[in-house]
Amino acid sequence: MMENGGYVGQYGGEENYMEQEEEWEREGLLDPAWEKQQKKTFTAWCNSHLRKAGTSIENIEDDFRNGLKLMLLLEVISGETLPKPDRGKMRFHKIANVNKALDFIASKGVKLVSIGAEEIVDGNLKMTLGMIWTIILRFAIQDISVEEMTAKEGLLLWCQRKTAPYKNVNVQNFHLSFKDGLAFCALIHRHRPDLIDYSKLSKDNPLENLNTAFDVAEKYLDIPRMLDPDDLQNTAMPDERAVMTYVSSYYHCFSGAQKAETAANRICKVLKVNQENERLMEEYERLASDLLEWIRRTMPWLNSRQSDSTLAGVQKKLEEYRTYRRKHKPPRVEQKAKLETNFNTLQTKLRLSNRPAYMPTEGKMVSDITNSWKGLEHAEKAFEEWLLAETMRLERLEHLAQKFKHKADTHEDWTKGKEEMLQSQDFRNCKLNELKALKKKHEAFESDLAAHQDRVEQIAAIAQELNTLEYHDCASVNARCQRICDQWDRLGALTQRRRQGLDEAERILEKIDLLHLEFAKRAAPFNNWLDGAREDLVDMFIVHTMEEIQGLIQAHDQFKATLGEADKEFNVIIGLVRDAEAIVKQEQVPGGLVNPYTTLSADLISRKWSEVRALVPQRDQTLANELRKQQNNEMLRRQFAEKANAVGPWIERQMDAVTAIGMGISGSLEEQLHRLKEYEQAVYAYKPSIEELEKIHQAVQESMIFENRYTHYTMETLRVGWEQLLTSINRNINEVENQILTRDSKGITQEQLTEFRSSFNHFDKNRTGRLAPEEFKSCLVSLGYSIGKDKQGDMDFQRILAVVDPNASGYVQFDAFLDFMTRESTDTDTAEQVIDSFRILASDRPYILPDELRRELPPDQAEYCIQRMPPYKGPNAIPGALDYMSFSTALYGESDL
């Protein structure tokens, strides 16, 4: 304990008044002007209080001698009643009264040193000044405390802070720092800028500055002049006790403003939190609206199944879909992840600031966005499957349409002139041998007609398949098929009618040229075989696997194995013609070279046989080309499988590792965050592998490869896995950052956090990152939280659930669990604290005025309050009064505002 100017205590930080005076005098530091300054200042200070009792003093060493005004002064400044004074005028009466005053001072914890009643009664000026300084320290300076400093240091720090923004002011002490008057002017301007124009003051005019400050303080702040400007200027070092006494009056005058400043700071802090939360809410609403609108616009395109029914049109749609997956969707995946991250951060900030949970507008919940996203992914999968199926269908249709045209052209070429021939009556005027020839010719035609039955049925079957597969030009196909079938029916009817005519004449005409007949019998089926072989050799085909092309090659090899027998048959048929020619030439038979039984000739058979033999190597080349194509497809399958079989397990391993980190099994939160960001960098570094796989997949699709037996991974499953991995990393990084934010703001230790995480993981059996209500209850019990098994316990648990699961999702996330376990031990602002702060600004009124808000708060926050505060409707309301109580409770979700 240091002695403090006449008493020993903790308030002034000075030595004993008398001893200090003597020490200064011995060292030559005592300025004779100090006693004069103290006398003026202490007298003015005493009168500033005595006037409340309707009296004053003129001479400080005389007017306190009888003790009466000294006791009155103590009663005024303490608000207490002293013992009744002695009214006698004898010396012992005066001593008794002064002792009563000194005893009262001592009762306040002040130990008087070297000051006795006799010296005061005798008018000792130095002792009287020491006693008054003791009173000033105890009742005017003692309660000044800034950052737990002593009274003198606290008052000095208060002056330094208040004058810090002002040029030419540097408060370091209570003597030289106040000589030029600028410090006094700065204190007044800081709290009442309307009273002094500080910009017009100059350090070169100290007397003008001092007079300005003293006049304004006395006129407008009710602070009497306690210092003389001339004394301050003419003294090398003004008395610091006099200056401290005067400055303390400024402190007490502006203490109300200090409280208002503190209250305004608290309100600004709360409003800043609310404004930031509202900004995050608006950003969430904007991002959610934009993403949902994009999904809404995209869904009709993905759900559309309309096409022009052409292969080129569907392939164009497939390329548009690839562009969509490659360019348009990835930014939306990032937007969705950012949306979820912003939502979690907002909810964490709301919990940490003791605000109610944020509920997005209807249709914009995270669950709504998740459901819309799942619908989008389902539509994507269905759209791609439809495109591939449509491609296969249209490719099949094009193949069938070409096959139909080829067979129809061949059939129509064969039928040319057949109806006219069947309708001819030539047999009625011919000779017997000619009639027999006509009959055999007709029999050969019937055989040929029967052989063509299979071709007509094939044409009809192909037309039926085109109709079933909804070929875009079905109308012309059906019309042509109908013409062929109608003509076929007519040919059948005409054939039957002509045969009946020939049978009628058969009784007359019996001769037949056996040689021509044998040629006709052999040539017709061989010609049909040639036609069929030629059709097979030029037949178009479509295959998708090595097995299919190898099957075609095997069938072709089997066909080539029959060419030897066909060559023998060809030689036999040509031999018949040559025999006939030899007989005609030998026997000179008129018209004998004409075969009446068939329209086929040796030249025709020879030409067709030559065509067949020429088509065989062409067919070999076509099949070899297709074999190479299928081998290339097989290589693409293996390339895709090799890459997919590496990428798929890599994604799964990364997902498992990220999930394990997200469970918080080991390491501090910072370590977990560091590892997660390392995984995030690794994932983005791995993206070229995904892009390379996309290129291979595009080549696979462009080669019309629809299945791959070398891998169970598809591009779709790998895309989904990749997007899930990105989302999981972002979500876990956000969760760990929110946990760090919670930990730091709540002040919990790493050991506590580890204990909470271990308990949570123990009951999170499926590693889903959330607990069901019963699991959550068990977790609370394991941490020592008491929940009764009676009805009251159930009610308590339901109230807890309402806090940790405000959206009633049926699950408790870890961040909500962590917030619950720590929130009751934290020092958070409350509605009551905000109301108290507004009450200070409103001078204890139940309402506040707009001008007061604009004066005490920054402009943007003042307008924020004015726009949102409802009018005050209580008693004694004045125009423009605002209800700050309802506004404050609304900030914390405790009213309907």
Residue range 345-372, pLDDT digits in tens: 888 888 888 888 888 988 888 889 999 9
**pLDDT tier for residue 46 given thresholds of 50, 70 and 90:** very high
Question: Residue 253 pLDDT > 50, yes or no?
Answer: yes
What is the overall mean pLDDT for the chain?
82
| 831-892 matches 747-822 in CATH topology | yes
Residue 171's pLDDT is what? 93
Q: Which of 74-88, 569-583, 847-861 has the lowest mean pLDDT?
A: 569-583
Question: Residue 819 pLDDT > 50, yes or no?
Answer: yes
Domain chopping of the chain, boundaries? 33-258, 271-390, 417-503, 747-822, 831-892
**515 contacts 441 by C-beta, under 8 angstroms:** no
**pLDDT tier for residue 431 given thresholds of 50, 70 and 90:** low
Question: Residue 9 pLDDT > 50, yes or no?
Answer: no
15 HSE (CA, 13 A, CB side): 7
> In terms of CATH architecture, what is 33-258?
Orthogonal Bundle (1.10)
Question: Residue 412 pLDDT > 90, yes or no?
Answer: no
Count of beta carbons in the 10 Å neighbourhood of residue 22:
13
Q: What is the mean pLDDT of residues 803-826?
A: 76
**pLDDT tier for residue 4 given thresholds of 50, 70 and 90:** very low
Mind listing the pLDDT tens digit for each residue in 539-555? 777 777 778 778 888 88
Starting at the edge strand that comes first in sequence, how are the strands of the sheet with 111-112 ordered? 3-4, 7-8, 111-112
Beta strands per DSSP E along 55-175? 111-112
762 HSE (CA, 13 A, CB side): 14
Mind listing the pLDDT tens digit for each residue in 162-172? 898 898 899 99
Residue 370's pLDDT is what? 92
**854 contacts 862 by C-beta, under 8 angstroms:** yes
Distance in angstroms (rounded) separating the CA atoms of residues 397 and 406: 14
Class of domain 417-503: mainly alpha
Residue 78's pLDDT is what? 85
Judge: domain 271-390, CATH 1.20.58.60: yes
Q: Which of 238-242, 672-676, 891-895 has the lowest mean pLDDT?
A: 891-895
Mind listing the pLDDT tens digit for each residue in 872-890? 988 888 889 999 999 988 8
Residue 563's pLDDT is what? 84
Residue 88's pLDDT is what? 81
pTM exceeding the 0.75 threshold for the entire prediction: no
Residue 14's pLDDT is what? 45
- Beta-carbon contacts of 481 under 8 Å, excluding residues fewer than 6 positions away, are 404, 408, 459, 460, 463
**648 contacts 721 by C-beta, under 8 angstroms:** yes
One-character DSSP codes across 698-757: HHHHHTT----TT-S--HHHHHHHHHHHHHHHHHHHHHHHHHHHHHHHHT--HHHHHHHH
What DSSP state is assigned to residue 807?
A: T
Question: Residue 858 pLDDT > 50, yes or no?
Answer: yes
Residue 382's pLDDT is what? 92
Residue 276's pLDDT is what? 86
Cα 141 → chain centroid: 57
CATH topology of domain 747-822: Recoverin; domain 1 (1.10.238)
Q: Which of 312-326, 480-494, 699-713, 822-836 has the lowest mean pLDDT?
A: 822-836
Residue 882's pLDDT is what? 94
**pLDDT tier for residue 746 given thresholds of 50, 70 and 90:** low
Question: Residue 212 pLDDT > 90, yes or no?
Answer: yes
Closest alpha carbon to 209 in 230, 189, 179, 181: 181
Q: Provide the CATH number for the domain formed by 831-892 in this structure.
A: 1.10.238.10
